[in-house]
């Protein structure tokens, strides 16, 4: 059995975002259990600034292994420098390539794709990322569950604001998944709401937002309502992978008191 904590959208900028992220990370640090992975699916730095990444790096320094992928609020170069310790010229280039990463755990492989499009809020997987993904699915050790993670959900979640900036052109990914039955599930963030649906016949689990929670259309009482709840507690998902690759997901809220 493997247990993966999945958080998303910490949007580090002000004291509030730091306090909420710290509450979630402290909760994970205090668990009487060694997690197999802490996955953070993007929107790490609210403005993609170097100082926000420095803060995020400190907050996400954990006794558990951590894998972080970028979202639309992230800047690829600053993300590489600040979180991956990449000091090469490539990290600093304005056209820095997609940040695609592999994590191998005990009995599972996470393939974290960069669905960000520099300068745009919506998501898209580039051809290079899709080629990389297909190759890495093939390279995953025999018997491993294969989890594909990215920031932008590739389907509508019935939240118009989010649906308008989802991962587009997702038919290419669905076609890839059709050729690779080893893909167990898809994991995403971006929506700032805990959600479960399917994509390409596989589970698609969306981690809630740490920084805030999106207001669902049937929660909006007046057009004056803000599009997010600021009063709901930060939350995260736990994905439990059984030996037979069956995936169970639990969602948890975390207190910011004390």
The CA distance from 204 to 201, in Å, is 9
Kindly tell me which residue out of 5, 9, 21, 125 binds Fe ion, with binding defined by CB under 5 A: 9
Residues 110-149 that bind Fe ion (CB under 5 A): none
Give the up-direction half-sphere exposure of residue 73: CA atoms within 13 A in the CB hemisphere.
21
Task: In angstroms, give the least distance from the CB of 106 to Fe ion.
Answer: 30
For residues 43 and 75, which CB has a smaller minimum distance to Fe ion in the complex? 43
Task: In angstroms, give the least distance from the CB of 244 to Fe ion.
Answer: 33
167 binds Fe ion (CB under 5 A): no
Helix (H) or strand (E) holding 133: helix 127-139
The CA distance from 132 to 100, in Å, is 8
Choose the stretch contacting Fe ion; rule: CB under 5 A; options: 1-9, 54-62, 104-112, 194-202: 1-9
43 binds Fe ion (CB under 5 A): yes
DSSP tag of 11: -
212 binds Fe ion (CB under 5 A): no
The CA distance from 76 to 114, in Å, is 9
Taking alpha carbons only, the member of 50, 55, 41, 42 closest to residue 12 is: 55
190 binds Fe ion (CB under 5 A): yes
Beta bridge partners of 148: 111, 186
Task: In angstroms, give the least distance from the CB of 218 to Fe ion.
Answer: 21
For residues 44 and 177, which CB has a smaller minimum distance to Fe ion in the complex? 44
Choose the stretch contacting Fe ion; rule: CB under 5 A; options: 72-80, 89-97, 126-134, 137-145: 72-80
For residues 9 and 144, which CB has a smaller minimum distance to Fe ion in the complex? 9
Task: In angstroms, give the least distance from the CB of 9 to Fe ion.
Answer: 4
Beta bridge partners of 237: 6, 251
Kindly tell me which residue out of 71, 77, 82, 208 binds Fe ion, with binding defined by CB under 5 A: 71
Residue 168 is encoded by which pair of tokens? 């587009």
Taking alpha carbons only, the member of 91, 49, 55, 56 closest to residue 73 is: 49
Choose the stretch contacting Fe ion; rule: CB under 5 A; options: 2-10, 59-67, 77-85, 244-252: 2-10
Taking alpha carbons only, the member of 119, 50, 41 closest to residue 80 is: 50
70 binds Fe ion (CB under 5 A): no
Task: In angstroms, give the least distance from the CB of 71 to Fe ion.
Answer: 4
Taking alpha carbons only, the member of 35, 32, 28 closest to residue 110 is: 35
- Give residues in contact with Fe ion (CB under 5 A): 9, 43, 71-72, 190
């Amino acid at each position: 059995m493997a247990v993966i904590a999945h958080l998303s959208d910490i949007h580090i900028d002000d004291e509030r975002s730091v306090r909420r992220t710290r509450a979630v990370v402290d909760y994970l640090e205090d668990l009487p259990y060694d997690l197999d992975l802490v996955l953070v699916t993007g929107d790490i730095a609210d403005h993609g600034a170097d100082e926000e990444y420095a803060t995020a790096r400190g907050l996400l320094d954990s006794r558990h292994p951590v894998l972080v992928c970028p979202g639309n609020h992230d800047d690829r170069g600053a993300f590489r420098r600040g979180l991956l310790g990449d000091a090469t010229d490539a990290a600093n280039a304005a056209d820095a390539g997609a940040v695609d990463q592999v994590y191998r755990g005990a009995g599972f492989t996470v393939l974290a794709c960069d669905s960000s499009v520099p300068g745009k809020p919506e998501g898209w997987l580039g051809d290079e990322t899709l080629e990389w993904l297909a190759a890495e699915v093939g390279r995953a050790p025999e018997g491993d569950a294969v989890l594909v993670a990215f920031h932008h959900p590739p389907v509508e979640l019935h939240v118009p604001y989010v649906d308008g900036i989802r991962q587009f052109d997702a038919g290419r990914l669905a076609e890839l998944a059709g050729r690779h039955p080893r893909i167990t599930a898809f994991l995403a963030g971006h929506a700032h709401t805990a959600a479960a649906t399917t994509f390409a016949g596989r589970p698609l689990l969306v981690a809630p937002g740490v920084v805030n929670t999106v207001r669902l259309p049937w929660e909006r009482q007046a057009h004056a309502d803000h599009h997010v709840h600021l009063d709901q507690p930060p939350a995260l998902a736990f994905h439990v992978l059984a030996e037979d690759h069956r995936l169970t997901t639990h969602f948890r809220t975390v207190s910011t008191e004390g």
